[in-house]
Amino acid sequence: MPVLDQLIAAIRSSTVTIVDLTARLEATTPVIQLPEPFANTVSFSLQEISRYDDRGPAWYWNNISTGEHTGTHFDAPVHWITGAGREDVASVPLNCMIAPAVVLDFSKEAAANNDFLLEVGHIKQWEADHGPLPDGGWLLYRTGWDARSASQQEFLNADESGPHTPGVSVECARWLADEAPLVGIGVETVGTDAGAAHSFDPPFPCHSALLGAGKFGLTQLQNLASLPPSGAVLIAGPLPITGGSGSPARVLALVEKT
Ligand code: MN
């Protein structure tokens, strides 16, 4: 049987399940909050054009307002100054949008320490347990943060010293950018960097190193707990916004029952 027929048969028989990794887009979807004097993104909103009324008697439709970096979204290399001149979100190669994914679960560590940072040693230990990172694939970093996404306050977890959310160390970000065979990393938090990464050297090392290396980011993922450590296939669909630095994305995973 042709491979695509096999895939459809496997989906229909639930031998392969489809997991939605995407947060719903609505007015309450959390968005990052930068401090003064930086400009901020808008929240998602709908503006009704007509709803079976005088403005359009048989149809309902809306305009939408959103930031590129609102909700579950894709970071393109041009988003960061280190990637200026690199790919916009419309130029992301399609074979990076359907690719193998592994899940590294640090939800216990992040619960105990909201500022937990992923280190190269954690990844090496994971590889010793589960095998090498997938060539041309995605590292999905589970922290349990998806459980907080109904509340902007809990999701950003900020106090007077700033946001406290898990992320990646400077050394690990460099390693992911320069050494790992990955095309990108995906996280459950509002951005790929830790909440405290504004004070790292360099600041926002994931953005700086990965986007500068032409790699990608996916943020505010959900349901990573439903994926195996390895073997899933990620499907990420950012909108092809010409010149865009990122885009809200529908992100799915295919998981084979074993
Ligand atoms: Mn972003």
pLDDT tens, residue by residue, 129-150: 999 999 999 999 999 999 999 9
Structure tokens at 4: 């695509």
Find the 195 Cα to ligand 1 centroid distance in Å. Answer: 13
Q: pLDDT at position 221, please?
A: 98
Query: In the annotation, is 79 catalytic?
Result: yes
**Sequence-distant (≥ 6) Cβ neighbours of residue 126 within 8 angstroms:** 102, 104, 229
Strand 138-142 relative to strand 98-105: parallel, antiparallel, unpaired? parallel
Find the 219 Cα to ligand 1 centroid distance in Å. Answer: 7
Q: Is-cis flag, bond preceding 37, omega within 30? A: yes
**Cα angle 102-183-119, degrees, rounded to a multiple of 5:** 60
Structure tokens at 47: 């503006």
Q: Round the average pLDDT of the chain to a whole number and report it.
A: 97
Q: Ramachandran region of residue 52, left (φ > 0), alpha (ψ -120 to 50) or beta?
A: left
Find the 4 Cα to ligand 1 centroid distance in Å. Answer: 33
For residue 133, give the DSSP letter: P
Domains of the chain by range and CATH?
A: 3-24+68-256 (3.50.30.50)
Q: Which amino acid is at 164?
A: H
Q: Which of 69, 73, 79, 122 is catalytic?
A: 79
| pTM assigned to the model | 0.97
pLDDT tens, residue by residue, 145-182: 999 999 999 999 999 999 999 999 999 999 999 999 99
Q: pLDDT at position 127, please?
A: 98
Res 258 pLDDT > 90: no
pLDDT tens, residue by residue, 199-241: 999 999 999 999 999 999 999 999 999 999 999 999 999 999 9
Structure tokens at 58: 């048989």
Torsion angle of C-alpha atoms 205, 207, 212, 216, degrees rounded to 10: 130
